[in-house]
Amino acid sequence: MKVHSPQDHIYGPLMIPSYCWPIIDSVEFQRLRFISQLGAVFYVYPCANHTRFEHSLGCCHLASVFMNHITTSQPELKIEENHIKAVVIAALCHDLGHGPFSHDFDPFAKEIDPLWSHENMSGQILRLIVNKYKINIPSEVIDAACNYICGEIYDAYPPWLSQVVCNNKTDIDIDKFDYLSRDNNRTLSTNRFEYDRLIVNCKVIDNQLAWKLSEVPTIECLFYTRNDMHIRVYKHRVVQSIGCMIRDIFYLISDQAGLETALSDPTEFVKLDDNILYKVESGKYGEKAQQLAERIRTRKLYKLVGEIRIKPENLEGESYSQRFPSDIATDIADVGELGADLYRVVSMKFRYGLTPSEHPLLSIPFWQSGNDHIVKLQPSDISCIVPAHFKETAMRIFISDKGKISQAKNSFLKWKERSAFI
């Protein structure tokens, strides 16, 4: 198979199969060069200016490496070329559906259409590219790739293929391998977890991905790194403050910029990228949005009023935190002097794997040398030095007018006292 090998600062030469390049060289894919990987994070971590483009190429590379490993080490699986293509294309295209500033766009989109997801939009854009440029890839491969982007099985192909790019069973997948390695490199610069060990020590057993038992520490490091990145980077309080301001801009310009229309039309959606903020700064979408963009540039940010942590056993508090932010803002305003329109509420979830009530290692399939069966860990097999909980919910309250921070804090404390379930 012919490959092209652009240089990457994480992996060195990338292994990108030739059938991927007609997709990569499309206008729709090149748009990812102008979608920041971490949204507002680069306002806090100046080197975090990488984009969805290099992340997508990195995932494509890891998927190629992974599928080559499985094909070579387990010939009895009889992996077909179309199986490989579907996984690699899914890895390449899984983020085509991200909006401007990546995850900062998602809450805006979901408030307009609760069923909207960037994964589904990625599939729509992939189909758009293939049809528009008449790319010679079998339709079943594209159908499978669209399923794999969402972590869903494609009935005509082996079930385990759906776990490579987006693993809804164990939370261990090549998307995570790349973004944790890449994002950590551009922010905290701490020692990376060894994603390569999780590739070469992975096998397919009973139609699911399983890892060598000796890699338990590596997988623990993966979960720790992910949680650490969420705490220190992705959900940094200043990052969230700016994210709120960016979303307010989206609301202000939605009609003029056609944002709501684009959510249901991939041909319009692909016209959106981070450059929209420069258009806002130029005054194209009105003075109010322009002033808000200027506040971001001059660091006149929304101020943090307070934060609440909700333990997993507090089901009522967790349920409350998932209400519409505007409803929670109204509750805070009702006990104080400020209007609800001044508050911004951000709900956060932190997790250590996919299983909130038990250690994630207990649900992961493992294997041992000389044993062809799945091995599952027992609680007694896991170190006693573990988190007290494997899931946490939190809320942060911001105020858009920093001159009213004192009043906002008083209202926040009253609301917190009256909301006994929190």
Supply the residues annotated as catalytic: 118
Positive or negative: CA dihedral 409, 415, 416, 422 = negative
Interatomic CA distance for residues 135 and 84, integer angstroms: 17
H runs (alpha helix) in 79-236: 81-93, 106-112, 118-132, 139-149, 174-186, 195-200, 216-229
CB 277 within 8 A of CB 246: yes
Closest C-alpha among 168, 1, 140, 130 to residue 68: 1
CB 270 within 8 A of CB 28: yes
Q: Which residue has 């980077």 as its token pair?
A: 233
Interatomic CA distance for residues 212 and 197, integer angstroms: 10
DSSP category for residue 302: P
Interatomic CA distance for residues 28 and 346, integer angstroms: 31
